[in-house]
Structure 1
Amino acid sequence: MEVGFIAPLFVLFLLVSGVGASPFLVKFIDTGNDNRVTFQVVLGNTDNQTYWTGIMSADHSETKWEASVSANSLSSLNSTVEPGIYDIFVAWDNDGNGEPDTYVWTSEGGAGYSISNDGQQLFISWSGLNFSQYQISFTDKFAISPVPLPGVVWLLGSGLLGVGIIKKKLGRN
């Protein structure tokens, strides 16, 4: 097998195996049958800039909750949203106009997570950002929903595998 063929297979393997932070969405579950999910967000920003964080619909069409986190601060915020599957983000101002313009999403693999033993707290660790704490405590329940790999990745992988097999068979003749 040629080296030029091995590199794309290795990249495909890394995509499929989930090396690094795996993309995820968070499902907010209403356990009180009141059509709302109550939660508290505790944010510890140890950086010298303001960050914005929020919860958006999975397709990013609607902001459900948003807050700013001042430089070098610790904030605790209570809120409610409707039950649903959401994408969580952190954003910051790169061009100096005082508005967020650069975003990192949990659905794009920009974060990792852990869950407390009682299943009521979600801890998110953001890649390359200086949060000493990013914790969501739920009064209701939540679940993590892995973001599925698009069908294109599987189709591309099958095509590359097929080309490699054909190349190998033709090389023997």
Structure 2
Amino acid sequence: MLAYASPAMAHDGTGLAGGFVAGFLHPLSGPDHMLAMISVGLWGAFLGRPLVYALPMIFPTVMVIGAGMGMVGVPLPPVEIGIALSVLTLGLLILFAVRAPLWVACAIVAMFGLFHGYAHGLELPSAADPIGYSTGFVLSTGLLHLTGIALGLLKVSKAGALALRGAGGVIAVFGALFWMGVVTP
């Protein structure tokens, strides 16, 4: 039962009650967000320089842009599908050790950052302390990216590289479950 998750579990539609602590804990409250954030770091670590630095900076930067779009009501395709596809796609990229060109990797991560940010921008105006919440959220996101990068250091050994690719497969399975939860009634 723990392996099956409803879409965008961190978004329960009730608004955001708190400030910094609530924002910091929010990315940890749904496995879809947590896996996407860790996957950005993992894939960046796999790809090496300069993407190991660039991807974890692009994601939260574009996430802020997406949040702004959500706050002002700019229409986007179904956001929950974009979030689910972010986990599925990033997991597959890690599983198959895809070495995308710099601009492609940046575009993929930016697109997914936009969807994740948009989902939060829809909720942000109801936060008691939107600045504190946003600060906590971005800090937690960065730490999850760093966790992925740290795990990515395992790539130096053959066994570690295989374990990381296996982790990508597990992440992709979760992404498929999230996606099925979004597209099936």
TM-score by length of 1: 0.25
Whose relative contact order is higher, 1 or 2, with alpha carbons under 8 Å and at least 6 apart?
Answer: 2
**Structure with a larger share of its residues in helix:** 2
TM-score by length of 2: 0.23
**Structure with a larger share of its residues in strand:** 1
